[in-house]
Structure 1
Amino acid sequence: MKSLFRLLLLLVSTAWAAGITTVASAQTATNSSQEIQIEADDGIEWIRDKTEGSGEYRARGNAHATQGELQVYADELVAYYRAGANDKQQMYRMDALGNVRIVNTDTTAVGDKGVYHMDKQVIVLVGNNLKLTNPKAIITARDSLEYWQVKNIAVARGDALVTQEDKRLQAGVLTAFIQPNISTGKNEVKRIDATKNVHISTPTEIIRGQEGVYEVDRQVATLCGSVKITRGENQLNGECAEVNMKTGRSKLKGGTGRVKGLLIPDSTGN
């Protein structure tokens, strides 16, 4: 049976005895009053620095932490605390090491290592095969995945890619805005902002630009900045374009400049 440890985010009231795993509690430096519950197969270790009033808790073996709707899974969890007012502990950071999985209601993110900055309520995932899954979209990245709890946004950095069926939106940075669906009660990605070398591909077209906004429910993307639409050998150039990912239709807009097109006729005469 798993050992259950409760970090109640209040005054520390227990101690570590040799070979015995105990329950710990601490006050965070944030305004959050939600308790943290941690489970681990191989126990928890309390490491203290008496001179500084700081230390850490290490939970090993299929570790699982829960705070409200947020859940963190990893091979090992390390919670760091520092000295606070009235000799209370302030929990300010949690590291997740190995096979990390972050779940917040209907959104799941995975990576090799994660850091939860409790002060800012920000989670950063790094490693290989970074992936965020939501009922409305799947987002992957090369460099990092960030989840900002208060703002309810996810940021993918480095060859960031969002896929929906046979349609793809890729950019240097993708920022996904997550909101609750009133009808279903689920959290869903509603809008994705794309910056740095935006690339959209559909079964019939490739569209490139410098920045864009994708409205997930409408499946419509708006790209701006030296936009190029390529369909086979034909190409259209303009300042902005509206791309309907559902119908495959694109509308080029000139903006401050003229719209240009290069159309190659069918040499077969068809």
Structure 2
Amino acid sequence: MRGMRSIGIILATSLAVAATGVAVAQVRQEQPTSALKGHNSNAPVDVTADRIEVQDRADRAIFAGNVHVTQAELNLDTARLTVAYSGGKQGARGVQIRRLDAAGGVVVRSPSETAKGDFGIYDLDAKLITLIGNVQLTRGPNIVNGQRLVINLETGRAVVDGGPPGVNSSGGRVTGHFTVPQKNGS
């Protein structure tokens, strides 16, 4: 009888652990991910600006003044943008954009998030967007501040770092402001 009781306890414990695992999996699936998760970095890139300088020998183009970039649902605004590309030589099948370097204040928008920083790098091959300097990531009323933001477009994961201590006003720390869902009743 005692052996049956032990098996019953083990079975009940196993079922509770399995149920908890399912509940955790359901919670994880319901958590919102970045709207940039799965962003198509192969989509066409449209750029408008006040001025363009093409440096063909260096395989780059420099856009300046009110630069606006659109790729699918991603928008980027900045004062200056350097586009590094390959395939611009004769006989090539067209230009392939490899990287966008933004300077002079950068704002990246998706349908649900806005990220700001002093400088930005969009590595199309690695599918990473990096913002550096006075970074702010906003989603609805929630805000995270730091010195570096890296967004992985494949996973939708965004990581904010505070930077080295003593270099900025935050002392090398990440700060955030988050709303708490209100519950009915006390």
TM-score range, shorter chain: 0.5 to 0.7
Question: Which of residues 169, 175, 181 is equivalent to 1:260?
Answer: 175
Q: Is the 1:177–1:189 Cα contact (8 Å) retained in structure 2?
A: yes
**TM-score of the two chains, using structure 2 as the length reference:** 0.65
**TM-score of the two chains, using structure 1 as the length reference:** 0.46
**Partner Cα distance (1:178, 1:156) in 2:** 14
% same residue: 32
Question: Which of residues 149, 153, 173 is equivalent to 2:60?
Answer: 153
Q: Is the 2:44–2:72 Cα contact (8 Å) retained in structure 1?
A: no
**Partner Cα distance (2:144, 2:81) in 1:** 25
Q: CA deviation at 1:223?
A: 0.5
Question: Which of residues 111, 136, 152 is equivalent to 1:244?
Answer: 152
Q: CA deviation at 1:268?
A: 5.0
The answer for the alignment partner of 2:77 in structure 1 is 170
Gaps of 5+ in 2: 1-41, 165-171
Aligned 1:67-78 pairs, distance under 5 A: none
Aligned 1:99-118 pairs, distance under 5 A: none
The answer for the alignment partner of 2:87 in structure 1 is 180
Aligned 1:137-152 pairs, distance under 5 A: 137-141=45-49, 143-152=50-59
**Partner Cα distance (1:245, 1:135) in 2:** 13
Question: Which of residues 203, 223, 229 is equivalent to 2:111?
Answer: 203
**Which structure: greater strand fraction?**
1
Q: CA deviation at 1:212?
A: 1.2
Higher relative contact order (CA 8 A, sep 6+): 2
Letter in 2 for 1:166: E
Write the deviation string for residues 240-266 of structure 1: whole angstroms up to 9, x where unpaired: 000234554321112111011111112
Letter in 2 for 1:146: E
**Partner Cα distance (2:110, 2:153) in 1:** 7
Gaps of 5+ in 1: 1-133
Write the deviation string for residues 145-170 of structure 1: whole angstroms up to 9, x where unpaired: 11112112111111212211011111
Matched residue pairs, number?
A: 133
Aligned CA-pair RMSD? 2.2
